[in-house]
Amino acid sequence: MRSSRSLSCIPQSDYNPRMHYFDWTATTPMSRHAIDVYSETACKYIGNPSSTHPLGQEAKARLDQERAHIAGLLGAKAKDVYFTSGGTESDSIVLSSLLQSPSPGEIITTGIEHSAVLEFRKTLENAGWKFTAIRCPGGYLNLEDLRAALNDKVRMVCLMKVNNVTGTVLDTVGAVKIVREYSRQIGRPIHIHCDAVQALGKIPFNPEQEDLDSAAFSAHKFCGPRGVGILWCRSKAISSLSRGGGQEKGLRAGTENLAGICAMGAALEDITSSIEINYNKVYSYRESLVSAARECGFKIISPVECGTFENPKASPYILNISVRPVPSEVFLRVMSDKGFCLSAGSACSSNSRGKAECVLAAMNTDPMDRMSSIRISIGADNTDDQVQGLCNALRQARQELGLWK
């Protein structure tokens, strides 16, 4: 049995002693272990894994070893693990495969998906596909809405596991059962893809046990390097639009980032070995922040109760609050001046009208709350002092903005 290893990310004092980081949903600092493995691999394995000379074959052997290692951590088979540049590309490979179909059909997803999924709407519709995005009041998918949306033209269902804006955990297991049942009725497979970027290493998740066809993961969400990710895919019906040297069995062309892949494996091992410990620690931090937000009179947009580690209803790593009537941008500047890195929680594009519908709007969140939404995302390397400091900063900001009741 693996021993639990602390994440041991680079101390925040090393990169900015004045700022406390609470934007872990956006990205995470690399762990020391991941950095050490990256450096070691980059120095030791200089060959291209596709080369036939000894140095190339050494790199290939290391790549195969890491694929098996990561597959084991996922509870999957090595043959189903493909390395990509991140969650967005992993989603893109699966979604763009639909464009190769000679007869367009329909894809069902939710209105609360990451933009990596929702931004494909225009592309697919231009190619003749029907794109159905089911609204999710409160951040949860009503399984009966999914059942009602299924029809004999549906080729793919795409659902996230953990919402990156409010932390809601979708019942993908229940959704898969409904889709599989309908698929048997029509006598044709329907591909089920899951964006699990915010789930891996934070809540229990096994793509094979959930009976998915594919799932996307990103290393920089669990203290690995940026620019590296995983597509788990056991369906042979998925093929990439991108062509190249045939790496990753032709599904993702381009020379593999061996150092990044090995560093990702190191980070994934660390976080999975302490997943329940981290969950409980972050859960307690979130409880403190919920209490402070309520004391300030702020509305909790995320589910207040997270459930248990074995049966989570929401991720404790994400807390979305409304600071109405103060706009998100104003509140973020105030908090930044106090030394805290947070983010706006609306997940809407502020630059283009044609973008996917706001995630919070698809949750039926009040428009005023959407304008004042703040996302606080916690990491296992945050400390008690930082959390208490953030609670105090929320109280101070409320008073300074003249909103204290």
List active site positions: 348
At residue 108, the 3 state secondary structure works out as: strand
- What are the helix (H) ranges across 128-209? 143-149, 172-186
* Residue 92 near residue 292 (C-beta atoms within 8 A): no
Block residue for tokens 């949750």: 363
What type of residue is 226? R
296's CB contacts (< 8 A; 6+ apart) are: 394, 395, 398, 403, 404
Both structure tokens of 298: 């702020």
DSSP bridge pairs for 107: 131, 156
366's CB contacts (< 8 A; 6+ apart) are: 322
Q: What dihedral angle (degrees, nearest 10) is formed by the CA atoms of 64, 68, 70, 72?
A: 180
At residue 343, the 3 state secondary structure works out as: strand
DSSP bridge pairs for 84: 229
Block residue for tokens 């590309």: 89
Segments of 196-339 assigned E as strands: 214-218, 229-233, 299-300, 318-322
Q: What are the Cα distances from residue 385, in Å, to 190, 288, 389?
A: 49, 12, 6
**Cα three-residue angle 2-3-6, rounded to 5 degrees:** 125
- Cis omega (within 30 of 0) on the bond before 29? no
Both structure tokens of 153: 């033209």
DSSP bridge pairs for 215: 194, 232
| DSSP states of 148-165 | HH--TTEEEEEEESB-TT
Q: How many helices (H) and strands (E) does the chain have?
A: 14, 13
